[in-house]
Structure 1
Amino acid sequence: MREVARKYELLYIHPGNLPSDDVEKVDEILNGTLERMAGELLHREDWGVRTLAYPVKKHADGRYILVRFSCLPECLAEIERRFKINEAVIKFLTVRLPDDFIQVEVLNIPVDGEGLGELRDGEMAESSDDLDEDLNDDAEDDNPGDE
């Protein structure tokens, strides 16, 4: 039976102070393994340096990299093996994506926050006035002794 290439999402963390040359070397390892073993890189996203929730291998911050790719299970095993022995990768997590997964492009459209805030505040004021009136009407109905 022939194996089918699956889609995976891999999030890995470099030490926050790692030089960009070393970051590129890890990218070359990933890309080289995918090319050699008939895999395909679908998406790469650098989330930048963030503070870790707890120290990982004595590092307080790390650079997060998210990649999506398709490959055979043997290729994934080789990528994970190489990440385990590479000191430039302090932590990683791989998740298999559903077969019907579709990559969605995110549009970075600037939004004017002032106009939206005014609209939301206006809507909230109107709805809270209506709510106060409804509560007052209910309170009057509940007090039969006042009639």
Structure 2
Amino acid sequence: MPLYEHVMIARQDLSNAQAEGLIDHFSTVLADNGGKVVEHEYWGVKTMAYKINKNRKGHYAFLKSDAPAAAVQEMERLMRLHDDVMRVLTIKVEKHAEGPSVQMQKRDERERGDRGDRGDRGDRPEGERGERRERSFGGDRRR
């Protein structure tokens, strides 16, 4: 059977349990039509780039499925009819990536406080900041 990945955005005023209940509901829709959800992730409430139906935020969910095309079409049809679901994206993939998605990896890094972009700051003596370039703000102003 073909492999698919789905991302769903639900309304922000749902509780976490209700949003995860939507994942279970649509998983059973796939199962009833001959498919199965291989893995699912609840990404939580995230801020969107623009408003959708007067909502700035939404509950994001990610599903990996192994299902026939008819089952996926039925699930998408029901998602689009559901009042709590704002957006759906389905992509057909050759194979599912192993391990957690990139979104879950980012969440793990934030929870641990791991900041890979700062580098090692322990090699400089305290108070020493390094050389700074002189900046020009136009005209003859000096700092």
TM-score normalised by the chain length of structure 2 = 0.68
Q: Does residue 51 in structure 1 map to residue 55 in structure 2? A: no
Would you tell me which structure has more helix in proportion to its own residues? 1
Letter in 2 for 1:52: M
1:18 maps to 14
The gaps in structure 2 that reach 5 residues or longer are 125-143
Q: Pairwise mapping of residues 106-121 of structure 1 onto structure 2 (< 5 A)? A: 106=100, 117-118=120-121
Give the CA deviation at 1:21.
Answer: 4.5
Q: Secondary structure at the match of 2:31?
A: helix
Letter in 2 for 1:117: D
Q: Deviations over 1:53-86 (max 9, x none)?
A: 1000111100110110010000011001000100
Q: Secondary structure at the match of 1:55?
A: strand
2:99 maps to 105
Q: Does residue 63 in structure 1 map to residue 66 in structure 2? A: no
Structure 2 distance, partners of 1:112, 1:85, is 41
Q: Could you say what the CA RMSD is over the residues aligned between the two structures, in angstroms?
A: 2.8
Q: Does residue 90 in structure 1 map to residue 86 in structure 2? A: yes
The gaps in structure 1 that reach 5 residues or longer are 123-147
- Is residue 64–residue 96 contact of structure 2 (8 Å, CA) maintained in 1? no
2:5 maps to 9
TM-score normalised by the chain length of structure 1 = 0.66
- Is residue 3–residue 64 contact of structure 2 (8 Å, CA) maintained in 1? yes
Identity of aligned residues (%): 22
1:32/1:54 CA distance change after superposition, 3 Å: same
1:52/1:113 CA distance change after superposition, 3 Å: closer
Give the CA deviation at 1:27.
Answer: 2.1
Letter in 1 for 2:97: Q
Q: Secondary structure at the match of 1:117?
A: coil
- Is residue 22–residue 88 contact of structure 1 (8 Å, CA) maintained in 2? no
Structure 1 distance, partners of 2:62, 2:46, is 13
1:54/1:6 CA distance change after superposition, 3 Å: same
Question: Highest CA radius of gyration, 1 or 2?
Answer: 1
Structure 2 distance, partners of 1:12, 1:59, is 15
1:82/1:113 CA distance change after superposition, 3 Å: closer
